[in-house]
Structure 1
Amino acid sequence: MPFTPLHFGPGLALNAAAPRAVNWPAFCLANIIIDVEPAYFILTHNPPLHRTMHTLGGATLAFGATVLAWTLIRRGGKRAQVPNWGDWRGENQRAVWLGALLGAYSHVVLDAFLYSEMRLLWPLGEGNPLLGVVSFATVYLFCVLMWGVGLGWWCVRWAKRALA
């Protein structure tokens, strides 16, 4: 998708449903890491845009990079005495891992429906068996709806706490 934040919707819905199980910032960071590659190729006018990071192997690299970044930020933030807004220091490591994993793999799967240049199965193979299985409109609508579901769920949760 040409607009990375669309990918954040499914993660927001998952986090709203299971806030202690799925870390949304890790989900988002994995997506951003993957889309650095096409951003670079857009800026350098060098197609194809979806190369290594938009594969199963690339998703695995993005997952690892996200977990590593989160670990370094957590350690550095403690040393630098960064405020603990949102209790980011107390975040469950398993939730970070799951958020990063779901973020990375959902990104390449959603994009695989859309882009013929992708080699989804690399390094296991060269093909993209998901191309065209779901339309552009369906993928975009799904992501936007997941934004709505996630935001709605969080608003209901917030309202219940405010009224309690």
Structure 2
Amino acid sequence: MPFTPFHMGTGILIKALLQGSFSLMVFGWSQIVMDLQPLWVLLNGHGHLHGFSHTFIGGTLLAVVSALTGKYLSEFGLIILRISKSSQPIKISWLVAFISAFVGCFSHVILDGIMHSDVQPFYPISLSNPMLGYVSVANLHKFCLYTGLIGAAIFYVVQWRNRKPNTYEPPAGQ
């Protein structure tokens, strides 16, 4: 199904491990971009559900699109969510945007390749899908859920450890 939240689990773990060297916003945007083609097929009933977008060649093209658009959308989104201040905005470097988009698109091809029989990840070289059924769908969902939970825990522990200590000192004599 398009826009599954399960894909975000791997992104959350990678964000926790790489912190500022990875953009979860760009990663998430790439997940949406990857599933626009299947959504189109579901809406109009024509085409290959997991078609060209779910190949490594299609994923590469969509990673470039996701990085180019996702950098600016994510920076704007961080301001709207008040994670970033318009006076001191968080800037996502181009390197981080491209790494995040490529990890997002390639992990999407791999995860969907394991789960969906119509994915042809190596098209046009091969129409086969050697990843299909590598693990059960239930275990794949558990993997995505657990990586997300572990990633969230790691992220918040790192944030807690890196927080600035309270530097307030009361005036002398109080």
Tell me the TM-score normalized by structure 2. Answer: 0.79
Q: Summarize the Cα distance change of 1:72–1:27 in structure 2 as closer, same or farther, 3 Å threshold.
A: closer
- For residue 151 of structure 1, report the CA deviation from its aligned partner: 1.3
Map of 1:142 onto structure 2: 143
Map of 1:21 onto structure 2: 21
Q: Which runs of 5+ in 2 are unaligned?
A: 166-174
In structure 1, how many angstroms separate the alpha carbons of the residues matched to 2:163 and 2:74?
A: 30
Map of 1:45 onto structure 2: 45
User: 1:16-43, CA deviations, whole angstroms, 9 ceiling, x for partnerless residues?
Assistant: 1111222211111111101111122222
Tell me the TM-score normalized by structure 1. Answer: 0.83
In structure 1, how many angstroms separate the alpha carbons of the residues matched to 2:83 and 2:94?
A: 16
Percent identity for Structure 1 against Structure 2: 26
* Secondary structure, counterpart of 2:20 in structure 1: coil
My pick for the range that moved more, 20-29 or 152-161, is 152-161
My pick for the range that moved more, 9-18 or 62-71, is 62-71
- For residue 68 of structure 1, report the CA deviation from its aligned partner: 1.7
- For residue 162 of structure 1, report the CA deviation from its aligned partner: 4.7
**How large is the Cα RMSD of the aligned pairs?**
2.7
* Secondary structure, counterpart of 1:122 in structure 2: coil
In structure 1, how many angstroms separate the alpha carbons of the residues matched to 2:89 and 2:28?
A: 15
Q: Which runs of 5+ in 1 are unaligned?
A: none
Map of 1:106 onto structure 2: 107
Aligned residues: 160
